[in-house]
Amino acid sequence: FFYISLLGFLLLHVDYWDSWGPYGECSRTCGGGVTVRTRRCITHREDGGHNCVGPDKSYRSCNIQDCPEGSRDFREEQCSQFDGTDFHGKRYKWLPYYGAENPCELNCMPRGENFFYRHRRAVIDGTPCHPGRTDICVDGVCRLYSVYISSKETDSCFLSFGGFLSWQTGEWNACSVTCGGGSQVRSVQCVSNDVSGPRVVEDAVCATYADAPPSLQTCNMQKCAEYHVTGWSCSVTCGSGQQTREVTCMGSDGTRLDETSCSALLRPAAVQRCEMAPCPQQISWHVGDWGLCSKSCGSGSRERQVICSDQERNLYPVDQCNTQPKPLTVERCNTQPCYSPQVVPSIQDPRGHDNTQIGFQPYTNTVYDPHSSAPALHCSQSYYGCCSDGHTSARGPQGLGCPSAPAPSPVPTSCIQTSYGCCEDGVTAAQGPNKEGCAEYVNPRSICSLPRAAGSCSSWVSRYHFDVISSKCVHFWYGGCHGNSNNFMTLAECKRACPRPAPIIYEEVGVN
């Protein structure tokens, strides 16, 4: 009783197959068709699934005799069913098309056209997958089949699709190299599937019906890339410097590749510091820049600093530089004659002294060429001084080379013919409006009545002049040349020369 109860429990809770049904009608009348039978899984699951193991359909061949001579191709016969039907407003005669990816779809192309169309998702079972081969389409899938001989003498030889053959492949393994062309392999097996499940059989069984897929292939065919570097080159021959080298992405065959081909590699450094042997100590004269000239004409002087130091500007006693002539510290400048008296005193020039010594350069004993084309900072620092315009450098004495002054020639026969007329003496030509540049031979008090004159140069300095309207000493900017005598360096000097006039007191006089 216990065993009967257990059996009943298992029948209620374990899925199992019902018996096979009969084979259906053959799909073809000749040339090898397919017939199918089915079975049902008995299950108590309510989600639509089941736990039965094995296929629910069994196929076998039927009507395997050859079709009569002159019969149409079976796939062509299926395409011809659509001949004369309306297709986008036209009617065609349809022919089979074998170039589609899935050979078990019914793809047909119209005669005389250059396109194909899928009329059905699957051809009729038993249709050959490819012309001239033994594989056939079953339920929309191209299958190989194996030959079985029945044990019953009354059964004829038949082809069973309950067990079909197929090549099964594994995953490709890793490539043997990362670049330059390698190889990789995978497993390829001939598998027979029947009602008892899949099993591996000899490769020769599957090879009878279809070539085996490749088990070996090439991989990583791209060129190998690596960085090639040239030798280092240092920017100095002694001391600390910077060295560089060329870094190039190259292929294994020596061809130059784009930088992206080496993106996975660590790029070698192309620039780094270099330390050469210590430089020998070089002690020599070093000179600073020339200061401004003390005069704009009439032969002034200018100064510069000269020190004995090494290339790092460390100072040394002058006797360590005495093997070389010491450069000049003072020289003449603006030696051209003045066209008017220089009545404005010069001011101290701070540019001739450099406490930082940064501007000092090694002295080279070269001859100065006054005719050099190198421009000076200002005409007052040039060898021959300024032209009459106050900013152009003269190319020779007496204003030679000036734009408004031709080659030295006598002054006009009369100052009346000049641009600004005559000075008070009636002989000297004025250098600007308001009798600028004239030597005023007047008493000191008349100097204070002269108008303010900025001059024609542009080396601006701070000065004071006496303003007769306000009777005060007033600040103004002086250009550095020409001008007149109403020009004082300090406010105190202006007040001493031009004291404010005493007020005039009018006394009331009685009338008798």
Question: What is the distance in angstroms between the CA of the first residue and the CA of the last residue of the chain?
Answer: 178
The dihedral formed by the CA atoms of 480, 481, 484 and 490, expressed in degrees to the nearest 10: 20
Element (H, E) at 494: helix 491-497
C-alpha closest to that of 352 among 401, 293, 408: 293
Cα separations in angstroms, 254 against 247, 250, 277: 14, 6, 36
* pLDDT band with cut points at 50, 70 and 90 for residue 398: low
Domain with CATH 2.20.100.10 in the chain: 11-62
- The secondary structure of 44-61 as a DSSP string is --SSS-----S-SEEEEE
**Surface-to-core class of residue 35, CB atoms within 10 Å of its CB (0-12 exposed, 13-18 middle, 19+ buried):** buried
Q: Report the pLDDT value the prediction gives residue 375, as an integer from 0 to 100.
A: 40
Residue range(s) of every CATH 4.10.410.10 domain in the chain: 437-497
Answer yes or no: is pLDDT of 94 > 80. yes
Range scoring the smallest mean pLDDT among 176-185, 318-327, 354-363, 429-438: 354-363
Residue type, 511: V
Structure tokens at 332: 């003449």
The CB density around residue 222, as the number of other CB atoms within 10 Å, is 11
Q: Whole-angstrom Cα distance, residue 340 to residue 320?
A: 47
Closest CA to 334 of 405, 278, 398, 377: 398
The residue assigned the tokens 């020599």 is 284
Q: pLDDT, tens digit, for every residue of 164-187?
A: 677 889 999 999 988 878 899 999
The confidence band for 360, taking pLDDT boundaries of 50, 70 and 90, is low
* Alpha-helical runs (H) found in 362-420: none
Residue type, 131: P
Average pLDDT rounded to a whole number, residues 350-358: 51
Is the pLDDT higher at 132 or at 442?
Answer: 132
Q: How does pLDDT run across 38-87, given as a tens digit for each residue? A: 998 988 888 878 888 878 888 888 888 889 998 999 999 999 999 999 99
- Its CATH class, for the domain covering 11-62, is mainly beta
Give the whole-angstrom CA distance, residue 280 versus residue 380: 40
Q: Is there a contact between 345 and 295 (Cβ–Cβ < 8 Å)?
A: no
pTM of the model: 0.32
Which single residue is written with the structure tokens 């008070």?
A: 424
CATH of range 437-497; options 4.10.410.10, 2.60.40.420, 1.10.10.10, 3.40.190.170: 4.10.410.10
Distance, in Å, from the CA atom of 369 to the CA atom of 364, rounded to the nearest integer, reads 14
**Exposed e or buried b per residue across 343-362, where buried means at least 16 C-beta atoms within 10 angstroms of its C-beta:** bbebeeeebbeeeeeeebee
Mean pLDDT across the stretch 248-276? 87
pLDDT at residue 271, as a whole number? 93
| Residue found under tokens 């009617």 | 91
